[in-house]
A and B are shown apart, each in its own frame.
Chain A
Amino acid sequence: MEKDIIIDLRNVNIALGGQPILQDLSLYIRNKEFITLLGPSGCGKTTTLRIIAGFLQPDDGQVIFDGTDCAGVPPHKRQVNTIFQRYALFPHLNVYKNVAFGLKLAKLSKKELHDRVTEMLAMVNLTGFEKRTIASLSGGQQQRVAIARALAVKPRVLLLDEPLGALDLKLRKDMQVELKNIQQQLGITFVYVTHDQEEALSMSDTIVVMDEGVIQQIGTPKDIYDEPKNAFVADFIGESNIIDGIMLADLKVKFAGMTFTCVDKGFAKNEKVDVVIRPEDVDIVPAAHGVLPGTITSATFKGVHYEYIVDVQSFKWMIQCTDAYAVGDVIGIMIDPQEIHVMKKSKYSDLIGDYSSFSDEFDELSNPLEEDEDE
């Protein structure tokens, strides 16, 4: 066990309304790290957060905070604070009094309280907004008040439940940078919940990918992206071509009727596996030079690159590259050994197909913005 662990969830189980939400979840969170719980709606990430905050008690298992079991400790006695999805600012109080709310309860002296509120408002660039009502603020400003209010009481851990979900894209990007800066500046632990994989990759020290109440993978953003553990993680984080393959021997995998050299080993001989190849890791070359021939069936200009759907032996691949091709072009593809990621088969293997039904619209439908798992 590592020493600097602030929160330790041990074999946590919880069911809500007869529906199991978390199943035997174990997770430790290091002090001062930025950890993200990432997964689709209903995966249990918000429930995990609410258990840490004390709003929910697990049916089974332990929550250990800084070495002490906090079973039965009510939320107002925990050294964690939450930034709620829709901010939950007090509408009957102005900006100053919202930020001062927790400090007042902590019985700070008038001067200390004033200094602290002023400092917090300065940190989130809201100096001069003290007297404003909550209703008169924009979404981004409300978000900042929520951050100032939660951080004013100096929590050891800040829990953030989809905090940027209600903001527009540009503001979201700015706030991502700002939140990360605040976290590093204050040196406190952030536990961040999101379904936005890009947000998770750009902000986190550690990502926890969850689905159906089970942790699928824990790792750094690079680990998660480069070495997904199963087809779910590969599919959820970024785009992936997931192809059935057979591990012939260490460093040798067969898929699409060809044998490739790879960098993976430790599988049984002739074990069935999932092979993951990222769209940007495939090179398009003239048909004669490629290892596999394919036909372009769809081409979309994405700004930085083109996105092609390529038919390779009736399996639709997604390939991203900067060269222009037209629909119907016959091309060859090349894959470097280190770009081939071999994963064990999982229950997700059969659920995730190729890109034949892919469209942007479908992608949005499967990534709903609203997170309603607890409501």
Chain B
Amino acid sequence: MNKRKLPFGTALLNAPFTLWTVIFILAPLVLVAYFAFTGNDGRFSLQWFEYIFDPARRETYLRMFGDSLLYGALATGISLLLAFPLAHFMAQSKQSVQRVLMLLIMVPMWMNFLIATNAWRYILEHNGLINNLLAGIGLPRLGMINTPGAAILGMVYNFVPFMILPIYTVMARLNVQLVEAAQDLGASRWEVLRRVIVPLSMPGVMSGVIMVFVPSVSVFFINDRLGGVRLIGDVINDRVLNETNLGAAFSLILMLIILVCMLVLNRMGDREKGAFVN
């Protein structure tokens, strides 16, 4: 009797999660795929993919996908370079310092990204804050707005907290005795970092990379406003209301690309780990 009841009870306990998964994860994916493969006549069709890969447009769209990946990768790389030392510093600081830094990292996340992006535009533009300051002291104005650099700055600004937090979480839990043990066995500060802290932080780095790379690749608005660059995210954003099916086809391709990137990254992560173990 009991043995039969137990799975039912477990299923019941799992119900909220199962429901959540179905409604918020599976259903949207299925819908995206459904729209992408539905033609104007409401039947199964590849017309949207044919449209995208039409020789007349193919090059434009492929370059857009390529740019999205490139910008995403750059934003992720820069975020990692900024986040790793900061997370390391935070994890080694006193509790009070850790709390203040954590707050400073969180506060920008409370601000809507549209507002933050417009604020950055105001700071960087030709008659913006920085250029007015430069002009005020007699220096020439710089062309910062509408450059790839500004687009990447906007992405890094928005997404770097998602890199810092997972790395910091892993580092803060790192047993201090492991660092001492490494020093004790003859490791200099640099070698402690290389042989102990970096390999043990890899789980945090991997989740940070995923959490920054995915939104960076599909980003819209930020790049447009700051960089004057239109990426695949903008294309999807434009299509999604009026040309839903075409937008869905773009989304599906983007999801596939991201999926492939994640698989490659995971592979690399494993190999990285192997490299450090040696």
Contact = CB atoms under 8 A, between A and B. Distances in A.
A209 to B, nearest CB: 26
Given A88-B175, A91-B200, A105-B191, A153 B181 contact: no
Interface in A282-324: none
Given A88-B175, A92-B200, A92-B273, A82 B191 contact: no
B185 A105 contact: yes
Contacts of A153: 185-186
B195 interface: yes
B188 to A, nearest CB: 6
Interface in B181-202: 181-188, 191, 195-196, 199-200
A150 B273 CA distance: 24
Given A75-B180, A84-B180, A91-B200, A101 B276 contact: no
A77 B273 CA distance: 28
B186 A88 contact: no
Contacts of B177: 84-86, 88
A82 B200 contact: no
How many residues of B sit at the interface, in one of the four size bands? 20 to 34
B30 interface: no
Contacts of B276: 92
23 contacts: A53-B184, A55-B180, A76-B184, A80-B184, A81-B185, A82-B180, A82-B181, A85-B177, A86-B175, A88-B178, A88-B180, A90-B178, A90-B181, A90-B182, A91-B200, A92-B200, A92-B276, A97-B277, A101-B185, A102-B185, A102-B186, A105-B191, A153-B185
Contacts of A82: 180-181, 184
B277 A81 contact: no
Contacts of A89: 181
Nearest to A86: B177
Interface of A: 53, 55, 74-77, 80-82, 84-86, 88-94, 97, 101-102, 105-106, 149-150, 153
Contacts of A93: 277
A75 B200 contact: no
Contacts of A90: 178, 181-182, 196
B183 A75 contact: yes
A150 B187 CA distance: 13
Given A88-B178, A89-B181, 11 more contacts: A76-B183, A76-B186, A80-B184, A84-B181, A90-B178, A90-B182, A91-B178, A92-B200, A93-B277, A102-B185, A153-B185
Which of A77, A84, A90, A149 has the most CB atoms of chain B within a 10 A radius of its CB? A90
Nearest to B181: A88
A147 B36 CA distance: 62
A93 B177 CA distance: 15
B181 A76 contact: no
A336 to B, nearest CB: 49
Nearest to A101: B185
B92 to A, nearest CB: 15
Contacts of B181: 82, 84, 88-90
A128 B254 CA distance: 49
Given A91-B200, A92-B276, A106 B186 contact: yes
A55 B192 CA distance: 14
A93 B273 CA distance: 10
Contacts of A105: 185-187, 191
Contacts of A81: 184-185
A105 B186 CA distance: 6
Interface in B13-39: none
A375 B177 CA distance: 11
A90 to B, nearest CB: 6
Nearest to B186: A105
Q: Specify which of A74, A93, A97 lies most central, judged by the most chain B CB atoms within 10 Å of its CB.
A: A93
A93 B199 CA distance: 10
Contacts of B183: 55, 74-76
A221 B73 CA distance: 66
B40 to A, nearest CB: 55
